[in-house]
Chains A and B, each alone.
Chain A
Amino acid sequence: MNIAKGLLGLMLMGFCCRLTAQPIHIAVASNFTHTMQTLVLEFEKSSEQKVILSFGSSGKLYAQITQGAPFQLFFSADQLKPMLLEEQGLAVVASRFTYAIGRLALWSAIPDFIDDGLSILQQGRFKKLALANPRFAPYGMAAYEVLARHQLVRATQKKWVQGENISQTLQFVDSQNAQLGFVALSQLLGKHSARGGSKWLIPEHMHQPIKQDALLLNSGSASKGAKDFMAFVRSPKAQQIIKTAGYSIATNTLVHKPS
């Protein structure tokens, strides 16, 4: 009997908490996982708001959002999916902005393997080259552009191994199953930072910028917490965190022109 009462109490407590502070539910592209966790820690220092994070590939999160997933904010790894959500009327008009620009790096877990940028790719002194799938992964597309720019697609294609996302691509290189791979700079700096080996930070002019957009979804349109968080991500403090994590910041973060 006492147990039943206790359980009832717990349930009521849970109910009350729900009423007082609705947590903000954010869908986040997995490449931004660590950075987002740092951002949330910082945000929660100055806010009572609780934040729930769901990580996944942008494609999967997009599919879930179109099917009514309960996310209030969406941090995609690209611009395409937020734009599509906007077109379909699933997001708040004019809320979309570029929260980070990804930096691409060629990385090897073997020290001194990459000595002089492009030359290792041109000489082909490697067995496998890992990259994220260029068909849909933003960092994969950028990697493809770098290769295409230097007429290296045909020469290297037989050696490609493709990760479904940038995390998997990193695993291929980290386990040395691939000697070389295009990964995100943020992965090499992140929490478990300072991965050894050798790297070449790809100059930004060699590929289209990897713009990562976020937007407020319809289910968050009435949530003050969600709007506060969006404002926080644009604050100088948050932008510093994002930069330190290995991303660039868009000079003009507002990409949507209000009509």
Chain B
Amino acid sequence: MSLSDGDMAAIWLTLRLATTVTLLLLIVGTPIAWWLARTRSWLKGPIGAIVALPLVLPPTVLGFYLLIAMGPNGPVGQLTQTLGLGTLAFTFWGLVVASMIYSMPFVIQPIQNAMEALGDRPMEVAATLGASPWDQFFTVVLPLAKPGFITAAILGFAHTVGEFGIVLMIGGNIPGETKVVSVQIYDHVEALEYAQAHALSGSMLVFCFVVLLALYSLQRKGRPLFMTFGKRS
């Protein structure tokens, strides 16, 4: 089994994409998850539903809408053109935006669950000890919800690595820019080069299993994936 230069380029691109998307989603997703976990607003339902939508929509549908939205006549395309960024389709950052939408529920939901499981109690205790809301968030909520964050990061990363339909629709198959591993494998299969497809698929399978195994083993040593604090209080 040998990997070509094209395969290696696709692997590096995929890792770069998955890392970028995971980090950005953790930053963007945390406030949303926090709001969803705490709010009593009627908007919780609709916003929660929007966050979960990518779970339901077939990636090709999502990709098709994104392609149209990112086009020069679409709303996103007009915005990015006004900002002088050109259009997003066929660029790395276009893939980042699309992947963030696609992997959003996998990052937000575990964080939200972990935060909801905390309940009000730890916050109240911290408040009586004089902690400001920011202190409470950073010194109480974040550490206690850590397992949720780790799960979110694993799932977000893994889901982005495995992404295919959307990238196919808006990527344009540009080496080093939008040609990720899943597309490269698809190309090998379409070109009837099954041996190369096997090699790359096999490497991806092993890599992903090892990453997931490492992270889940780490989790096991620490605390369970989802904690409930009800009994402790």
Contacts and interface: CB of A to CB of B under 8 A. Distances in A.
B98 to A, nearest CB: 13
A168 interface: yes
Interface string B62-103: 001001101111100100000000110110000000000000
B80 to A, nearest CB: 12
B67 A171 contact: yes
A178 to B, nearest CB: 8
A160 interface: yes
A172 interface: yes
B187 interface: yes
Interface string A148-177: 000000000000111110001001100111
29 contacts: A59-B190, A60-B190, A62-B192, A63-B189, A130-B172, A133-B187, A133-B190, A135-B187, A136-B190, A136-B191, A136-B192, A137-B190, A161-B172, A161-B173, A162-B173, A163-B173, A168-B169, A171-B64, A171-B67, A171-B169, A172-B172, A175-B73, A176-B71, A176-B72, A177-B70, A177-B72, A177-B77, A177-B89, A177-B170
Interface in B124-156: none
Contact of A84 (B64, B74, B192): B192
A176 B88 CA distance: 12
Interface in B148-193: 168-170, 172-174, 183, 186-187, 189-192
Given A160-B174, A162-B172, A176 B190 contact: no
A57 interface: yes
A128 interface: yes
Given A171-B67, A172-B172, 16 more contacts: A59-B190, A63-B189, A127-B86, A133-B187, A136-B190, A160-B174, A161-B89, A163-B172, A164-B186, A177-B71, A177-B87, A177-B89, A177-B170, A177-B172, A178-B90, A178-B172
Nearest to A58: B190
A161 B174 CA distance: 6
Interface in A240-254: none
A46 to B, nearest CB: 36
B187 A176 contact: no
Given A133-B173, A160-B174, A164-B186, A175 B192 contact: no
Given A161-B173, A161-B174, A177 B192 contact: no
A58 B135 CA distance: 60
Contact of A164 (B67, B74, B190): B190
A164 B72 contact: no
A128 B89 CA distance: 10
Q: Which 5 A-B pairs have the closest CB atoms?
A: A161-B172, A59-B190, A162-B173, A175-B71, A177-B89
Nearest to B89: A177
A163 B63 CA distance: 13
A81 to B, nearest CB: 8
Could you say which interface size class chain A belongs to? 20 to 34
Nearest to B183: A164
B92 to A, nearest CB: 13
Nearest to B86: A127
Nearest to A164: B168
A99 to B, nearest CB: 21
B157 to A, nearest CB: 25
Contacts of B168: 164, 168
Given A128-B90, A162-B172, A177-B72, A135 B192 contact: no
A164 B172 CA distance: 8
B75 to A, nearest CB: 13
- Specify which of A162, A168, A175, A176 lies most central, judged by the most chain B CB atoms within 10 Å of its CB: A175
Given A60-B190, A171-B169, A177 B90 contact: yes
A191 B143 CA distance: 59
Contacts of B170: 177
B34 to A, nearest CB: 36
Contacts of A128: 90, 172
B191 A175 contact: no
B72 to A, nearest CB: 5
Contacts of B70: 177
Contact of B67 (A127, A133, A177): A177
Contact of B74 (A81, A130, A175): A175
Interface string A55-98: 00101101100000000000000000100100000000000000
Interface in B181-215: 183, 186-187, 189-192
